[in-house]
Structure 1
Amino acid sequence: MTQQAVRVRGLRKTYGAITALDGVDLDIQHGEVFGVLGPNGAGKSTTVEILQGHRKRNGGDVNVLGRDPASAGRDWRSRIGIVWQDESAPAELTVEETVRHFARFYPRPRDPGEVIGLVGLEARAGSRVKALSGGQRRRLDVALGVIGGPELLLLDEPTTGFDPAARRQFWHLIRKLAEEGTTIVLTTHYLEEAEELADRLAVIASGRLVAEGTPAELRDRYGSSATVHWTEPGGRPRSTETTTPTRTVATLMRRFDGEIPGLRIARPTLEDVYLRLSGQSTDRAADGENAC
């Protein structure tokens, strides 16, 4: 077994004059849940497609489970589970028929009934795929991704269309697979999902890796400031962004002789940090900055 489940160096992908990936490096350990974040068009899905051998790269070195995906064969592919963004199940089969059919593609599949239960489709096992709701079809896609008992599971926006209860059930499934030793690479737009599941995160923007670390490390490294909110006499809201919120509050206490109307201290969330790193942040301190 290689030291990393996934090792990427200098990954490049272009589409004509458009550069989708520009020198991305990644190291993903065995048994790790690794989240990839980025806005639409940042290169997340392209990265996952290259890892699974579905798309060719223009440059760089890629090693996945000890092989180059561009030349790996059938045995290697049987060790990989994939949940695509697009639905992959045939519409006329039932849920149970579909899962059992896909199980035959793998040398050591999981029990189809168990997998149907894991994704919460027991009650719809006899239903045709075309009769399922969008969220139920997405659950079936997840079932097809895990039926082979993969060593590496690649999930590209897997919970799109899930209601909150289904999303929580999916999180439980991911934790269970991780506990069993499955390496999981997850792209998602749901920051709560990324923080809940991922051991480490990579943020990709404009085809470049702009940050990597645990959710706590990213918050500490890129979200060290806090925003202090208060209300001026007359009811006018004010705020200031600062790395020393205690000092700011002390200054305000002297101004207001004790109680500070509307006092609230907001520290950056993972979403704030992500928006800042990906160049999407619209946060601005109000015109009260440095006014205390």
Structure 2
Amino acid sequence: MLLHPRTLKHHVAASSGGRYALNTIALTSMGVLSTDGHSLLLVPYPDADPKSAPKIEGVHAESPAPQAEPVLVALDDAAKAAAMVSKSRRNASPYTELLQVETDGDSIRFGATDLSAAQTMQVRQPEGAYPRVAGVIPDYTKAQAVTINIDTLLRSLKALKGVTQDEVVTLRIIDDQQAVGFSCKDGTAMLCMPIQVEKPEEHVPDQLAKLRGDGPGVAAPAAPEEGEDGGTEEASAPTETEMQEAQDVFESQPVIPQAAEPTPAPAATSKPKKYSRRKQVTAPANELADIIGG
């Protein structure tokens, strides 16, 4: 198994506190997984053939990735293993930029070489079971896919963090053709334009859906169900909003006068029943809408 050292250095594992297993990096069948209970990062293994890697005594690079239970690596051990890759000789061969990893029971062996010398390290897997993260991953089948440049997003978020005292930000997404809005309670607001691509749900694999275990491989919209006549079935039940709109239309219609029947004495007429109209609540003005004049 081959690993890029950056996957062991850049992670979202908890550095302290919480469940002990969250203070580790997990080597899984799909890649390197880390989480602190609030965010999750999955990085696939390098697209390189372990059979072509230079031989390192004591480390069998062709050892497969864990298939059943993930193999846990302590953060200190991960940092030490990543440091074995020589920065000065990384361009000598693509394989000098990678770590060779072999797992054997509770033992994990790391190896790195710059073609002139090799380093190896053996550590023990920390005790504890990694959390079943698949159970908390939402079903992204009908998710709105928006593609944003990473540098643009990172620069924008750093600027936002530097000018607001708020610790949270509200994210608003309309579709992949319009800017993504970020708003804070103190009135700070920001727009970030997406990158226009054709059918982002097809060219970007959704690894989270695969990790979830029962979703599609890409974030593509689900196909509509077919009815008995072969056509697509549409939802017939009205929503609460549609019902309220229909009630408002009904209440706005004039009352139809009823014809009075001739009687010896004038009959008392009852006033038409008035329907109470629900008071409309005006939503607070959105900061981004105020800026763009919407």
TM-score between the two structures when normalised by the length of structure 1? 0.20
Name the structure with the higher helix share.
1
> TM-score, normalized by length of structure 2?
0.20
Q: Which has the higher strand share?
A: 1
Which of structures 1 and 2 has the larger relative contact order (alpha carbons within 8 angstroms, sep 6+)? 1
User: Which structure has the larger Rg?
Assistant: 2
